[in-house]
A and B are shown apart, each in its own frame.
Chain A
């Protein structure tokens, strides 16, 4: 008889370092996404907050439409619209205090604008004249991040550094459903939980990673469930309910600020437009599905709440729409002006101090520009100095 065959002879006892978790904190998300609008809980909502959210939603919707139009005119290389997801964008910006940091993904232009970034600066990357286009320190908005989920560990590191310095700073990092499959998502959540960093992760689950639906992305019951494995609470919220997203994010930000550690929030929403103008959404989803979501529109949901409570009338709505039109007209006008670029900038910010090799290459470009200016004095490149 071998050792393993002797009944009861091999009983592994947990070593001292391992103990089953007994803490009562419910890390699991609720079964259903949290909702406020249209429920009794909405009665207690602050009218001023709702009106602010509404104003941002209306302008955000218009911004998405205008930016999409600019791609058709060739003014933007690409624009990943967040139409249908405006509630997540706006709530993300409004849940933060001034000293906090936002780490947006490429689709989160609206969150950056709602946080105070100049609408034109927010489109600099997509316009193609330079990369980030703004000073991240000015509004505490990290560069709109194109690689998926790679900005999440940055948020953790920044929040961790701020806490080490004793500063009251929370970082909110945004990612899509597809981004949750990336290794950096896992590493960021794990670091954040181990370090108890003041970070909030907001997953905007808009149903698709370009064309791949959530069911092919994950086998988890929900993306919020992933929080449990890291030892942080997961919250599931209706991403089209601006009041609910704002409340859940505000709770999570407060918890982080008070030293409670990170939270993972999954906002269930829907991308009404295609991934970008280069995408054909009809290949992977039906019009009927899109129509279903049109009946759950974030702007309409909030509008219904506000009108039912007589906080908003037709005149109020018209005023918001006019403000949005003014913003769009300003955006159009400024985006239609050709940016003035200095090609010599190519070499300016590679290193703090230019290397000999770069100085030499800058000299080559300078000579090319001078030759071009001599050959065609009126050409755009020829006129720039």
Chain B
């Protein structure tokens, strides 16, 4: 439970509302913050994250663009060069792919190629992941593509408070941030007081969501609630699980992760993205390199299958659920088996 939740005045707020509040506050505080994308104006975005911004700040600050992702991000590059802080909305994960050239060839390396003379203080908001019954191209977990690109920060909130705080931090960052919004958590509500949001967390810090001693579940974004539920269920099996929410994939908070794993001696990484070439492989490698002598069992991954995202009627078989996480936890009794 967050500290904001216990404050008087807290009421149920959804992640989408918190993101909306973060955009409004950032735009109100800093006139250089501009929101642009497809449908962000009158419609307020297909997930209503930009709801009301055009009324409050006008079309110059909240701009409905032509339907062209490369153009949206490409013009945002020029706007950032001129001192603005663009916040770009990509409507869905897979819709962002036409903008990859701009992201990788320009956004990510502008600071580097100009020896710091031109920075890219822009935020790319990407609703990502499955679990909402979306048809093809509406449910991809594209985080590994972004993680593989030096120069980008990649963050993803899993709680309402983090959605607000991390988005504020992303917009304030002088570096480009790919801000991945777990769309199946958009409507998850929590007691959160929008009038007294918590302090903005620094990008690059993980959060321990549950203390435990038997093993560490390492996760982020849409898989956090799955891991929290699994941890509660595991109590009955005699497992006291620690849950680490990465919040930021780049930079990666090695310290928090390794401190936890050294203490528990066991680790399971949980995410929706593919296992092969996915974020879990990188995290597992780092844990093995840093914590080998503390490990009681191999580092395990519970990931989405290595398949193109399945159709909605089958996605429940693909997405890592509580049972699959608990099965992995059971496999951590590796020493006893061997």
Contact = CB atoms under 8 A, between A and B. Distances in A.
B112 A158 contact: no
Contacts, number: 139
Contact of A157 (B78, B175, B251): B78
A184 B101 contact: yes
A136 B70 contact: no
Interface string A334-351: 000000000001001111
Interface string A251-265: 000000000000000
B116 A161 contact: no
A154 B106 contact: yes
A184 B74 CA distance: 8
A137 B70 CA distance: 24
B70 A184 contact: yes
Given A135-B114, A157-B77, A161-B82, A150 B68 contact: no
B9 interface: no
Contacts of B252: 355, 357
Contacts of A156: 71, 74-75, 78
A165 interface: yes
A356 B115 contact: no
| Of B68, B71, B106, B150, most A-chain CB atoms within 10 Å | B71
A366 to B, nearest CB: 19
A349 B71 contact: no
A318 B102 CA distance: 46
B229 interface: no
Chain B at the A interface: mostly helix, strand, loop or mixed?
mixed
B118 A137 contact: yes
Contacts of A351: 111, 151, 153, 175, 251
B277 interface: no
A187 B82 contact: no
Interface in B34-84: 34, 60, 65-66, 68, 70-71, 73-84
A130 B74 contact: no
A188 interface: yes
Nearest to B61: A164
B74 A154 contact: yes
A100 to B, nearest CB: 12
Contacts of B118: 136-137, 143
Given A131-B113, A351-B111, A158 B78 contact: yes
Interface string A235-266: 00000000000000000000000000000000
B255 interface: yes
A161 B83 contact: yes
Contacts of A155: 78
Interface residues of A, number: 40
Given A137-B117, A183-B98, A350 B78 contact: no
A107 B77 CA distance: 21
B68 A161 contact: no
Contacts of B116: 348-349
Contacts of A7: none
A160 B72 CA distance: 12
B98 A131 contact: no
Contacts of A132: 113-115, 117
Given A350-B151, A357-B252, A187 B79 contact: no
A191 B114 contact: no
B250 to A, nearest CB: 8
Contacts of A187: 66, 68, 70-71, 74
Given A153-B71, A187-B66, A143 B113 contact: yes
Interface in A146-193: 147, 150, 152-162, 164-165, 171, 183-184, 187-188, 190-191
Nearest to B73: A153
A158 B81 contact: yes
B251 A191 contact: no
A188 B115 contact: no
A182 to B, nearest CB: 9
A103 B106 CA distance: 13
Interface in A125-146: 130-132, 135-137, 142-143
Nearest to A354: B251
A150 B255 CA distance: 39
Interface string B84-107: 101000000000001001100110
A380 B84 CA distance: 42
Nearest to A152: B74
A41 interface: no
B119 interface: yes
A165 B82 contact: yes
A160 B65 CA distance: 12
Contacts of A130: 115
Given A153-B77, A161-B79, A357-B254, A191 B66 contact: yes
B131 interface: no
A352 B254 contact: no
A164 B60 CA distance: 7
A356 B290 CA distance: 14
B105 A147 contact: yes
A191 B102 contact: no
B225 interface: no
Given A150-B101, A356-B255, A350 B79 contact: no
Nearest to B81: A158
B75 A350 contact: no
Give the one of B81, B117, B174 with max A CB within 10 A: B81
A161 B78 contact: yes
Given A131-B114, A157-B81, A160-B78, A191 B60 contact: no
Contacts of B298: none
B119 A352 contact: yes
A194 interface: yes
A191 B82 contact: no
A153 B78 contact: yes
Contacts of B83: 161, 165
6 contacts: A154-B106, A157-B77, A157-B82, A191-B75, A350-B112, A356-B204
Given A158-B82, A188-B74, 4 more contacts: A132-B114, A135-B114, A190-B66, A356-B251
Interface of A: 130-132, 135-137, 142-143, 147, 150, 152-162, 164-165, 171, 183-184, 187-188, 190-191, 194, 345, 348-352, 355-357
8 shortest A-B CB distances, which residue pairs? A157-B78, A153-B74, A187-B71, A157-B75, A131-B113, A158-B78, A161-B82, A355-B251
